[in-house]
Amino acid sequence: MTRIDLHRHLDGNIRLQTILELADKNGIVLPARDPDSLRPHVTISSPQPGLTDFLEKFRWPIAVLATPDDCRRVARENVEDAFRERLDHVELRFSPVFMASANGMGPAAVVEAVVDGARAGSREFGVPVTLIGVLSRTFGAETCFRELDALLGFRDRIAALDLAGDEAGFPARLFEPHFRKARNTGWRITIHAGEAAGPESIREAIDLLGAERIGHGTRAVEDPALMDELAEKEIGIESCLTSNVQTSAVPSYAAHPLRRFLEHGILATINTDDPAISGITFDHEIDIAAPEAGLTPELVALAMKNAERIAWRDGCLK
């Protein structure tokens, strides 16, 4: 079986040890100085009331990023992690404005460093990497234009554009011009939708932003016509089982709609989202989360086949 993770935030997957070392180097005071005491500050151990509470855990991993070299290191280590997890292909996404937010780096310098680190990692470890730029909707439409411009400076190294952050507070329609520009550039489109807002948010992502894949999309199950449309139009769903339990997008693994997506013929897949923040690996999602969510080995195999089908391998970093 080909092992592909299509939905992994490299800025949500910063190693504990790296957070400690970067804090030391950059003179940033963390709430704890050893891995075990720091872990509860940067890793989720029980479900949070909502997505924004989940996002709180990003505070310290982002706070230690102070120079482009730090971003380069994080990107390279993400590819090394993918190699250690025996991934055959990984699609890594990142938000340059978010990564730059704590210490006033320029977003363009962040993009350059991430591209450089991911390429170096891909060559070193032999793992094909597709990079996806993320616009952090929580910063608002204006800042997202700056973020988009920074990403467009490396348009040939980046394959796709995504929209993440506070879905309920910042609906897709605010970002129509950004995604029109991205499509005109030839980028593919994936959108976080139907995680913290309802099925109408998924429709907006498809109709207004041109989404070819949907991140999470859990609430699609509330709308049978939308379920049909996702299957017919072959719009992929990037499911992230543990993340969805931790953000309370679903109440439990057993209540997760992934099995229903697969049985409905939707090109749904299994992904990690933010492995370090969630305290998980790809194997955890395949071996533990997926069976808990009611997937038979056949359905797990189908999800992995779907990932092969909807992966953007043409956009791999060279």
Could you give the residue numbers annotated as active site?
Answer: 195
- Distance from C-alpha of 112 to C-alpha of 13, rounded to nearest angstrom: 19
**Minimum gap (Å) between residue 272 Cβ and Zn ion:** 9
Whole-number minimum distance, CB 225 to Zn ion, in Å?
A: 25
Taking every pair of C-alpha atoms in the chain, what is the biggest distance, in angstroms?
A: 54
d(CA 41, CA 12): 13
Percent of the chain that is helix, strand, coil (3-state, to 5): 55, 15, 30
Nearer of residues 11 and 204 to Zn ion, judged by Cβ: 11
Size of residue set near Zn ion by CB under 5 A? 1
Q: How far is the CB of 221 from Zn ion (least distance, A)?
A: 19
Burial class (CB in 10 A: 0-12, 13-18, 19+), 73: buried
Residue 88 CB, shortest distance to Zn ion, in Å, is 21
Nearest to 111 by CA among 75, 66, 61, 86: 75
Stated length of the chain:
318
CB atoms within 10 A of CB 33: 11
Question: Which of positions 268-287 make contact with Zn ion (CB under 5 A)?
Answer: 273
Selected range binding Zn ion among 40-48, 75-83, 142-150, 267-275, rule: CB under 5 A: 267-275
Alpha carbon distance 93, 89 (integer Å) = 13
How far, in Å, CA of 46 to CA of 33, rounded? 22
Q: What is the 3-state secondary structure (H, E, C) of 287-315?
A: HHHHHHCCCCHHHHHHHHHHHHHHCCHHH
- Residue 19 or residue 164: which is nearer to Zn ion going by CB? 164
Q: State the minimum distance, in angstroms, from the CB of residue 271 to Zn ion.
A: 8
Give me the amino acid identity at 128: P
Cα→Cα distances 170→19, 173, 212, Å: 30, 8, 20
Is residue 11 within the footprint of Zn ion (CB under 5 A)?
no
Which residues here bind Zn ion, judged by CB under 5 A?
273
